[in-house]
Structure 1
Amino acid sequence: MIKWQFRVDHMPFVKIIGSIYLSKNFFWALGILILAFVLGSMSPFVLGIARVLMALYVLIVIAESVQLYRVNDGIISARNAPARLSNGDENHIYILLKSDLPYDCRFELIDELPVQFQSRDKTFSGLLGSGTEKTIQYIIRPVDRGEYSFGNINIYISTLTHMIQRRYQSEAGEMVKVYPSIIQVKKYSFLAISDHLQDAGIKKIRKIGHNYEFDQIREFVTGDDVRSINWKATARSSQLMVNQYQDEKSQDVYTIINKGRVMQMPFEGLTLLDYAINSSLVMLNTAFAKDDHPGLITFNKEVAAMVPASKKKTQITTVLETLYNQETDFSEADYSKLTYWVRKKIKKRALIFLYTNFEGLVSLEREIEHLKTMARYQRLIVVLFKNVELDSLVNHQSEDLEDIYTKTIATKFQLEKQLIVKELNKHGIDTILTSPQDLTVNSINKYLEIKKRGLL
């Protein structure tokens, strides 16, 4: 908690020592002195004590001021922030404090956070020994993409009675960019490369049938499909040998993100659009790690951006920079233009994940023909969002007529979402109905299922 401080650096007589701050201890002592002099007016003995205390008070203030100003640049501080912050994730910030003072001191540190956080209470305090270093760590969670500007680092030190504080200010202003969830990308990228995606909740999909890309011939082990036995190799080696196949590679995988007004619903500080952007980046990075060709399209009333599918080494960086600037104008998405664009620009059959949302059957019926057209030429997966706040309403125990009415409406919306899924499935369009926090895991599960089972 920030101390109550009286800033004296605005007064003309302290322009030279504008870095001195008076703490609450100073005013407590001053209050006691005033009380002593008031009581001293009624008793010469008490007045004598008050004068002694006044002299002691002045000496302590002078001694403490001299102690604080014996060394110039006695405190050095620096902030270590990531070059890129990850939207929606916990990002660690480190502040290094170093003391060159010949004495121990008590410090109070205030870091000036970007205005987006609307926080002025990032305050830390403690003891700092002479000639020692201390690292302070805290966590921030941005919920908007864009540029974030950190301010200065303010350190207030005190010693002895802590009545006087000296301020050290480090010119640590810096601007950092908040990108889509880089932390999730690194996490899933490592798991994909090491083939341990199941550690993050990704299901292990059993292969059905064979893919056609031959990998190698190896010894037969229990559980192998007997139809994979290579009889010629078995005859040559006098032991059972099997053909091993690998997942098909070099397939185009696109994520298409609806930036319209239906994607502006908030959940835990982020909009559905931000969840879709974070998931899309992780999905495409996983596809890249699996030797597929990732691509990206964003749209609302027009197709806003497109990154053609490619296996270039810089592909994920290009996708990241494209997603960084994606915002919405709250317009209605035009699926007819999207369908035309997909038919025109995506020449071969691709796997497409369409991140969008339909809250009612009527809104789906307006767009179903366009979705059917895309599904006819591409492998289309429509990703829809659950309204998880409805779950609490449906599961809430009704206590009065108003609760019953609210619960009935919430149940109706939930059933309508299920009907939307059935309607899409009826036309041969796969769907993922997921809560925002499970979006990434469920999307990757679907991708791996299609890859393993060769359903493209």
Structure 2
Amino acid sequence: MKNFFNLFYKNLFLTNRLFTGLGSCAALFVLAFFFPWLGVIPQLFFYTLVILVIVDGTMLYRTKKGVFAKRHAPERLSNSDDNELGIYIENWYPFNISIGIIDEIPVQFQKRDIWFKTDLTPRQRKLINYVLRPTKRGEYEFGLIRVYVQTSLGLLRRRYNFSQAETLPVYPSFLQMRKYELMAISNNLTEIGVKKIRRLGHSLEFEQVKNYVQGDDYRTINWKATARQGNLMVNNYTDEKSQHIYCIIEKSRAMKMPFEGLSLLDYAINASLVLSNVALLKEDKAGLITIGEKIGAVVPADRRPTQINKILEVLYKEKTRYLETNMELLYSTVRSVIKQRSLVVFFTNYESMSALQRQLPFLKRIAKFHLLLVVFFENTELKKVSEQPAADVEGIYIKTIAEKFAYDKKLIVKELAKHNIQSILSTPQNLTINTINRYLELKARQKI
């Protein structure tokens, strides 16, 4: 009995409709002092309200389990993407109810407005979908599902607590990876902004002899096959395969800068994951190296079916460091791990020429043995400041400094090109597309 009353009081809530009724009742009693003709109307109103409250409570509590709720969530969440979750709700009451649902989502989202309202008829089932967008990798803990039920009277509300505590890992953007994967399989990468590169020559990998169609290169005509068949026949070539593609991700404090909730490291991780997957679909070998003041993870290049999962698991655990990157250690690691000429994509960030000059000697050494592509970020906030008109003297100073930093970024691109080092200066949101663009371009131009 004691447990019943504790459960009753803990899960019973009074609604605004009941407080409105009590307020109206109090107002009638006050008015009865000044207007005696009201007579017993206040008492009748009060007793009617009491009876309705008893009826409402009886309807809510006469069934031990009136509703059922369960959270539908994926096994893991994708960082920086909209992840769809759902709450399954079922009405076991023999009458219509109105419900409110609170899902205790992880504290990382800092949201207190996950409140859903809906109406259910007897035995009706419903799935309520909602979207969460995580901006940090790691483990996210979900709590209880709390369901508040009220009848058509709406004077009381009963709460049901469904214990569904679970921990979901947030991985690098595998949803984005799958989107590009489908595009790469169907050769439709141009539909999402990836450029189609004109082929300037032919790779050495012969594929087949086929009939000539309008638009084929005349230089590929196979005259012997043409003589035998009596129709124009051309040689068909395919991109070279099994080329090594390595993504090197810097984890120093320069990559901790945030943009739209994500750090630059997370943008680099998402882009490297997609690039590795596209490279594997193109039958190249993908590898990974992470570097801070010491070497983080090293995944040798391979094209086995399990390679992308291995890279995904490694990237899931990576975090930014606060010390300067050890470029000498990176160079020695590249020389010892990467045994043949490869495309090395180095994700980093430079805010000034002096930052580049500290690393340039080691970049030049790596570029002697491999095709080096340095990827760094455009500071979009500084760009906005430089494009806004100055309102006063202080604004002129701020705008001048912002323009100076933006100009330094362009000088960095020229300085790298002077030493035969490829580079990409990209905004964070366009990093993935720009990186895949350059990979496909270098592959089509047979630079690797």
**Same topology, TM > 0.5:** yes
* 2:447 corresponds to 1:455: yes
AA matched with 2:246: Y
SS at match of 1:82: coil
* 1:16-95 correspondence runs (5 A): 16-46=8-38, 48-95=40-87
SS at match of 1:308: strand
Contact 2:102 2:115 in 1 (8 A): yes
Deviation digits for residues 265-324 of structure 1 (CA, Å, limit 9, x no counterpart)? 110000100000010100000001100000000001111111000111110000000000
* 1:111-190 correspondence runs (5 A): 111-190=103-182
AA matched with 2:122: S
Residues in 1 aligned to 2:143 and 2:430: alpha-carbon distance in whole angstroms: 35
Shift of 1:71: 2.2
* 2:411 corresponds to 1:419: yes
Residues in 2 aligned to 1:110 and 1:18: alpha-carbon distance in whole angstroms: 16
AA matched with 1:331: L
* 2:371 corresponds to 1:379: yes
Contact 1:37 1:47 in 2 (8 A): no
Contact 1:36 1:47 in 2 (8 A): no
* 1:352-363 correspondence runs (5 A): 352-363=344-355
Greater displacement, 76-85 / 38-47:
38-47
Identity of aligned residues (%): 45
Residues in 2 aligned to 1:349 and 1:371: alpha-carbon distance in whole angstroms: 15
Residues in 2 aligned to 1:300 and 1:61: alpha-carbon distance in whole angstroms: 66
* 2:386 corresponds to 1:394: yes
Residues in 2 aligned to 1:84 and 1:289: alpha-carbon distance in whole angstroms: 23
Greater displacement, 118-127 / 182-191:
118-127
AA matched with 2:129: Q
Alignment partner, residue 356 of structure 2: 364
Q: 2:251 aligns with which of 245, 254, 259?
A: 259
* 2:230 corresponds to 1:204: no
Contact 2:96 2:152 in 1 (8 A): no
AA matched with 1:225: D
Contact 1:151 1:174 in 2 (8 A): yes
Aligned in 2, Cα 1:365/1:133: closer, same or farther, shift over 3 Å?
Answer: same
SS at match of 2:304: coil
SS at match of 1:142: coil
Residues in 1 aligned to 2:247 and 2:182: alpha-carbon distance in whole angstroms: 21
Deviation digits for residues 388-427 of structure 1 (CA, Å, limit 9, x no counterpart)? 1112111111211111111111110011111111000000
Alignment partner, residue 4 of structure 1: none
Shift of 1:14: 5.2
Greater displacement, 118-127 / 347-356:
118-127
Shift of 1:370: 0.1
RMSD, matched Cα: 1.6
Residues in 1 aligned to 2:135 and 2:7: alpha-carbon distance in whole angstroms: 41
Contact 1:41 1:47 in 2 (8 A): no
Shift of 1:198: 0.7
Relative to the length of structure 1, the TM-score reads: 0.95
Shift of 1:126: 2.0
Structure 2 stretches lacking a partner, 5+ long: none
* 2:55 corresponds to 1:102: no
Q: 2:402 aligns with which of 410, 414, 424?
A: 410
Residues in 2 aligned to 1:241 and 1:74: alpha-carbon distance in whole angstroms: 75
Between the two proteins, the alignment pairs up a number of residues equal to 447
* 2:339 corresponds to 1:339: no
Residues in 2 aligned to 1:327 and 1:302: alpha-carbon distance in whole angstroms: 13
Q: 1:329 aligns with which of 321, 336, 339?
A: 321
Aligned in 2, Cα 1:159/1:243: closer, same or farther, shift over 3 Å?
Answer: same
* 2:427 corresponds to 1:435: yes
Shift of 1:77: 1.1
Shift of 1:328: 1.8
* 2:277 corresponds to 1:285: yes
Alignment partner, residue 8 of structure 1: none
SS at match of 2:47: helix
Contact 2:98 2:152 in 1 (8 A): no
Q: 1:233 aligns with which of 210, 214, 225?
A: 225
Shift of 1:348: 0.7
SS at match of 1:214: strand
Residues in 1 aligned to 2:296 and 2:221: alpha-carbon distance in whole angstroms: 51
Alignment partner, residue 3 of structure 1: none
Contact 2:288 2:301 in 1 (8 A): yes
Residues in 2 aligned to 1:328 and 1:398: alpha-carbon distance in whole angstroms: 36
Contact 2:245 2:301 in 1 (8 A): yes
Shift of 1:79: 1.0
Shift of 1:353: 0.5
Alignment partner, residue 295 of structure 2: 303
Contact 2:81 2:175 in 1 (8 A): yes
AA matched with 1:69: Y
Residues in 2 aligned to 1:218 and 1:17: alpha-carbon distance in whole angstroms: 81
Deviation digits for residues 224-282 of structure 1 (CA, Å, limit 9, x no counterpart)? 11111111111111000001000000011000000000001110000100000010100
Would you identify which runs of 4 or more consecutive aligned residues in structure 1 move more than 6 Å?
none
